[in-house]
Every structure is written in structure tokens, then in C-alpha cells.
Chains A and B, each alone.
Chain A
Amino acid sequence: MRYQVAVVLVMDLSIEVVDVWKKYVVREGLRRRRVVEALRGITFFVRRGTIHALLGPNGAGKTTTVKILATLLLPDSGTVRVLGRDVVKEASEVRKYIGLVLDVSKGFYMSLSGYENLVFYGLLRGMSFSDARRRAREVLELVGLEGMGASGRPYYSYSLGMRARLAIAKALLTNPEVLLLDEPTLGLDVESARMVRDLMTRLAREGRTILVTGHNMYEIEQIANYVTIINKGKVVVSGSPDELKERLGLLHKVSIKVSGSEVSRFVSELRSNLPIEGLTTNYLGSAVLVTTYVRSRREDIARLVFKLSKALDVKVLDFSIVEPSLEDAYLAVVRGGGGG
């Protein structure tokens, strides 16, 4: 742990979460109370200008972490810093630098319009009336609500997609350096979800830091630079999507279509030189389709295939290595009981 902290201290960090614990007391009826351990010593770091995904099954502690970062919840113990400021001791300072999306389906006054809700929030955050009105128009334009003619309509008439856009507009209103987005694309249609993804990518390119949670692994894989998977309140694994897959030693699906007299030797050499789990051969006329699962880096697989084909004079007609997805990595972690 000390070593990890020492390493990341030299980096340009936006968010530091170190050994954070959080318990809830859930009231069940008048007398019964149940203690839920939401976070059990989680530690992770988010670098400036990156999109960092916080993944985990329901109840893993993602929303609790986001709420602590947003100063909405107090941790029981541990250190949480945003841009070097402690979220407990310097909460009001931290709030100046963060934008939050917590629940895209609610969080606004039903009878106020999107524009009015944003102006109210801007005033609440200390903006002048003219600044609040100007910024409200700008962010509504940015998220596409102005173009949809929805900014003046009451919030209760908004679709889920419009509500999500407004939630993101609210998060951007104060032009924050750090964005905390809890499941921002939950339940959105394809177009709205893509808009949110594109916006996140654009904002990260502008140098903002984004911590995003979600369950859509394909989406996270597309946008996230780093991923932290938590389960049962503990960090199970952290790193870039590629690093995670590699670190978890996930299987690559390898398909090779070959022809030549030494195909059987080629196959046996593959078996003896790669950590293969299951191999099938299908004869397609003069060619042979070899399909196998290999627990190895793709560069090593490719190098060996081409080396053997050259050495044994086997002709490679087709060759593909299908990488494991982030979803595979996630499932491997969660099903492996990580964190338990």
C-alpha cells in the first residue's frame, strides 16, 4: 500500500481515495436497525484529464464512493481528496471544483423548466443572476436541450433522455474541473447515450477529470482510460482496460486457417509452445481451420504463429486473435469472488 501511494504521489492526481471505510445504519421499522458495510477500505487514484470508470455489481459501493467525493456523504475513516483538497475538512472548497450527476431520473423541481432549474442551481452555487442565466443557456445548448426546444418546458414533461441531458448540464454549469457521473447513461436511448459518451470524451480531451460509474461494459471500454473494479466495498483490481485483461490472464480466442504438408506438426508445436486451453481443427478441403483459446499476450501468440509458419513452410491463409472484452475481465473478477 505504502509503495502504491508513493508511486502515485508523483503523478498529476485529481482524485485520491485512500483506505476509505463507510458503514450505513439501515432502519427497518421503528426498532430494528441493520448495519451495512458499504465501503471496506477502498483505495484508488484518478489522474487529471482522464476518464476513470468505477465498476462493480449493484451494492458494491460505487454510488457511496461518488457521494463521498461529492461531499454529500461523510466517510467513517480514510482520506479522500479532490484536487488535493480534503472532502471532509475542505468540503466547501471541494464543491467549487466538482460537478455531479447522481440520479438521471430525478433531482430537479418538477414544475420548473430545465432552464429555471439550472438558474436556481447556479444562484445556489453563488453565481450572479446574469452569469447563472448565461451559463444555463450555454450548457443547455451544449447538451442539446436548447435545440430540442425543451429548455423552457417543465421538468415533469421531460423524457428520461432529456432528464439525463439536464443532469449533465447541471454538472457542467459551474464549469468544474472534476466531473462525478453516477450511471449517466442508465436507461437512455441509443442517441442520448452516444451524446453523453461523446461529451465525456470531449470534456476529458479539454483536460477535465471524469469519474464515471456504470454497468454497460462496452460503453466503458470505449471511453475509459482507467478502470477500478470494486466488489463488496473493496477494490478488486485497478488499471487500464488492457492492463486489466492482461493482469487477469484472460483467454484470447485464436483462429488460424492454414495449408501445407506440415499442418499437423504446426498444430502440435502450437500446443507445446503456448498455454492452450482447448483446440479444435476443422478440415476445409486442403486447408485446416485451427481454433483455440490461449492464455497469453497477443504479441506472443502472433510472433509464434508466424515463426512456426515460416519454419515449417505452412501457409497462413487467415489469422485472427479476438481479445477478451472488458466485460470478460469484469465477470472474471466478480465471479471470482473478488473483494469477498
Chain B
Amino acid sequence: MGSSLKSVVLAIAYREFIFFKRFFSEYFLLWVIPLIFSLGIVFLPTTIASRAAVLRRFSTVVGGSFSFTELLTYALCMSAIMSLVIAIVSDVFQTLHQEYRVLGAMVMVLESTSVTTYALATAFVRSLIMGVLSTLYLVAVLPLINGINGLITYATLLPPIIISSIALGLYSVAIAIPLTFYVRLDRPWTVANTLAPALLAGAGLYIPIKLVPIVLRAIAYTAPVPQLCTTVRVVTLLNEPTQLPWLMALVVALATIYSLVTTYLGRFSDSIARRGG
């Protein structure tokens, strides 16, 4: 219906580029705060215990043995995952809601294409951009602390990060569409502001997911964040890359489900928007 997918993708990419330029300071904060948090949660215990004790504690919790450099790599990667989840979930939800309910900018979209095409394109483009940008600093930092191995670690992690980011974008759109088109929320930002921390809290960032309380775990398993955390752990700490294809297959399967849900809901929403009421 209407403009081609390529046109919609180009338009969204242009808009995201402008947004990124305009709000760079906000994105920068979004990277720095999780970085401080992640490094703090892993390394601040060294102020009250020895390095060896900290490493031993992590080894016991995660399983396997690893070096201090590997733990640092892990902490940096987890920080990137946190930024990525917050940026994708909040941005996708809030933008869609604002466009339709507040700004009226959805009229530009409805004049040009269908809600489904726009929602899917948003999920892909925005998540791809945010996925790459949120983890880009690892390109510089990982080789600094681990030489060529750091670069290899980043190269190994990048495809899973991109796939998971797109899956997360589709997940966010699948949540945002019903909350935008079917119900009227007085405080829509509450959903966006709650969802991302809930996903992160339940995903097992620094502990295995089986140790996370079941309610939080259940919430986290609706999104591909636990798989992404496991991927980071497998690549940076456990050195078991054979697990990667299975994890990614699971993420792709989730992404397919989210795409189907988004397509179905998008068609319904398009019809709601064009039927009025």
C-alpha cells in the first residue's frame, strides 16, 4: 500500500540520523550511565575484597574460570547491552505513541504507507542504528584492553547484537501498537519507562537467569534480552562459541513471532486508524 518499503526505510533512516545528531548528548548519557553502573557492580567489590576473591565469586556464580581482562570485557559488553535495551524499547514505544496520539505526525505516514510497513521499518531501521551505535565504543575499547582478541570478540558479538536488536525492536513495536491504537493511556511513558528496566532486571545481567525471581524472569523471557546476555557470557567469559547458533536461532524464532504479531496488529491498527473512532 502506498510508498515502497525502500522509501519508508530511507525516510526513517534520515529522521533517525537527525534525531541522533540533535540528541547526541542524551544518547551519550545513555551510554555513560550503564557503563558506570556495569563497571561499578563488577569491580567496586575489589575495594572491600581482593581481586582474586572477586574473580572467584564471579566464577562460582557464572561457572567456569576466567581472567580479570575477560571480566572487564564482560562488564563493558553488558553496559552496551543495557544502553541498547533502554534506547530501543523506550524510543520505539514513545515515538510511535507520540506520532499517533500527540504530534499528529502519523498523518504523514498514513498519507504515504500502511501502519504495518511503517512499524516494521521502524523496528528494523531504528533498532539497527541503535544496536550498532550503542555498542560502537567497544570497537575502540576492547582492542585497548585485549589487543587483537578484543577485536575478534567484538566481531563475534556484532552479528548477535544486530539480530537481537532487530528482534527487540520488533518486540517493542508489537507492544507499542496495541497500547497506541487500541487503548488510551493517560501516562504512556510509564510503560516505556517500566518495561526496559523490568526486561533488564529479569534478564540475568550479572547472574545466571535461573537465579532471577520467577516473575522478573517471566517478563524478561518475553523479549530476546536473556538470550543476548547469555550470548555475551558465552563469548566473553565461557569461550563456548558453539552455543551461539542455537541462541541466535532462538532469537530469530522470537523475531519471526514478533514480526507476525506486528504484521497482524499493524493491519488491524491501520484499519482502526482508517475507520476512525
Contacts and interface: CB of A to CB of B under 8 A. Distances in A.
Contacts of B15: 109, 112, 116, 120
Given A73-B274, A116-B18, A107 B11 contact: no
Interface string A44-72: 00000000000000000000100100111
A100 interface: yes
B276 A125 contact: no
A234 B108 CA distance: 29
B211 interface: no
Nearest to B23: A111
B113 A109 contact: no
B149 interface: no
A125 B3 contact: yes
B274 A74 contact: yes
A8 interface: no
18 contacts: A26-B277, A70-B111, A72-B274, A74-B271, A74-B275, A91-B1, A100-B111, A106-B105, A108-B108, A110-B103, A112-B18, A121-B108, A123-B10, A123-B11, A124-B108, A124-B113, A125-B111, A170-B108
A126 interface: yes
A125 B18 contact: no
B7 A106 contact: no
B3 A124 contact: yes
B275 A73 contact: yes
B25 interface: no
A103 interface: yes
A95 interface: yes
B105 A92 contact: no
Interface of A: 22, 24-27, 38, 64, 67, 70-74, 91-92, 95, 100, 102-103, 106-112, 116, 119-121, 123-127, 129, 170
A224 to B, nearest CB: 25
Given A72-B111, A107-B108, 7 more contacts: A24-B277, A102-B104, A107-B104, A121-B108, A124-B11, A124-B109, A129-B14
Contact of A124 (B8, B273, B275): B8
Nearest to A72: B110
A111 B276 contact: no
B40 interface: no
A111 B22 contact: yes
Contacts of B275: 73-74
Contacts of A129: 10, 14
A95 B7 contact: no
A124 B7 contact: yes
Nearest to A110: B103
Contacts of B64: none
A64 B276 CA distance: 9
A319 B274 CA distance: 56
A17 to B, nearest CB: 17
Given A124-B7, A125-B7, A91 B2 contact: yes
B276 A107 contact: no
Contacts of A73: 274-276
B103 A124 contact: no
Interface in B83-114: 103-105, 107-113
A103 B7 contact: no
Contacts of A72: 107, 110-111, 273-274
B10 A95 contact: no
B4 interface: yes
B26 to A, nearest CB: 11
Nearest to B9: A123
A92 B8 CA distance: 14
A106 B104 contact: yes
Which 4 A-B residue pairs are closest in the complex by CB-CB distance? A123-B11, A124-B11, A106-B104, A126-B7
Contact of A95 (B8, B18, B112, B274): B112
Contacts of B4: 126
Given A24-B277, A107-B104, A108-B103, A123 B7 contact: yes
B188 to A, nearest CB: 16
A126 B23 CA distance: 27
A329 B14 CA distance: 49
Contacts of B108: 107-108, 120-121, 124, 170
B175 to A, nearest CB: 20
A106 B2 contact: no
Nearest to A76: B275
A107 B102 CA distance: 9
B111 A95 contact: yes
Nearest to A105: B104
A292 to B, nearest CB: 50
Contacts of A27: 277
